[in-house]
């Protein structure tokens, strides 16, 4: 299978030479439904909380908050794709709390390849050093990949704060 040619978007993108084994999937709403999560799997959150399947109710509440935020955003941003691109652009430009571990262009390639068989996000943690999180599968469409990244970004961010940021970014585009 021929791979789509990839380009470096900015120096902020790091190709991470790490092995990502035993790394929890962040997008738990997707993975738990498919029974991929083990009972003891944990999901790191921005506030340092680890969620397990046993604390599903807690996560469900958090996810409902995120869903409500997305609904608010959809009223402000007429095109949901624009929201994805705003977030993706922030991530790729290093303005997000994450750095992409995959050479991703904003040119909308149909398929892109991620190193180590997955897209990875890196977040700094003063106490524990860098934490690497596996979020997507190796060959995904652009939209699927961005949606997975967006879900992760929203899950790790204060919903009210992220909404303010996007509305500001949206106004700058108009």
In a domain, 14, yes or no: no
pLDDT band at 26 (very low <50, low <70, confident <90, very high): very low
Question: CA 12, CA 25: separation in Å to the nearest integer?
Answer: 23
Q: What is the pLDDT of residue 6?
A: 31
In a domain, 162, yes or no: yes
pTM here? 0.24
Contact (CB, 8 A) for 59 and 149: no
More confident residue, 161 or 22: 161
User: What dihedral do alpha carbons 56, 62, 68, 74 form, nearest 10°?
Assistant: -100
pLDDT band at 75 (very low <50, low <70, confident <90, very high): low
Q: What is the pLDDT of residue 66?
A: 52
- Count up the domains in the chain and report the number: 1
In a domain, 19, yes or no: no
In a domain, 2, yes or no: no
Residue 20 has pLDDT above 50, yes or no: no
In a domain, 8, yes or no: no
pLDDT in tens, 47-67: 334 444 444 444 455 555 555
Contact (CB, 8 A) for 158 and 69: no
pLDDT in tens, 91-150: 555 444 333 333 333 333 333 334 333 433 333 333 333 333 334 444 444 445 555 555
């Amino acid at each position: 299978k021929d791979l789509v040619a990839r380009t470096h978007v900015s120096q902020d993108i790091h190709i991470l030479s790490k092995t990502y084994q035993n790394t929890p999937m962040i997008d738990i709403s997707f993975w738990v439904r498919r029974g991929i999560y083990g009972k003891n799997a944990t999901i790191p959150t921005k506030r340092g909380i680890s969620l397990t399947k046993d604390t599903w109710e807690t996560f469900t509440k958090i996810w409902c908050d995120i869903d409500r935020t997305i609904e608010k955003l959809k009223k402000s941003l007429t095109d949901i794709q624009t929201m994805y691109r705003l977030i993706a652009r922030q991530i790729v430009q290093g303005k997000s709390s994450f750095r992409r571990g995959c050479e991703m262009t904003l040119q909308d390639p149909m398929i892109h390849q991620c190193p180590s068989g997955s897209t990875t996000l890196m977040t700094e943690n003063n106490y524990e050093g860098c934490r690497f999180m596996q979020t997507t599968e190796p060959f995904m469409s652009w939209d699927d990949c961005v949606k997975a990244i967006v879900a992760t970004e929203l899950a790790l961010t204060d919903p009210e704060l992220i909404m303010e940021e996007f509305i500001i970014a949206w106004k700058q585009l108009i």
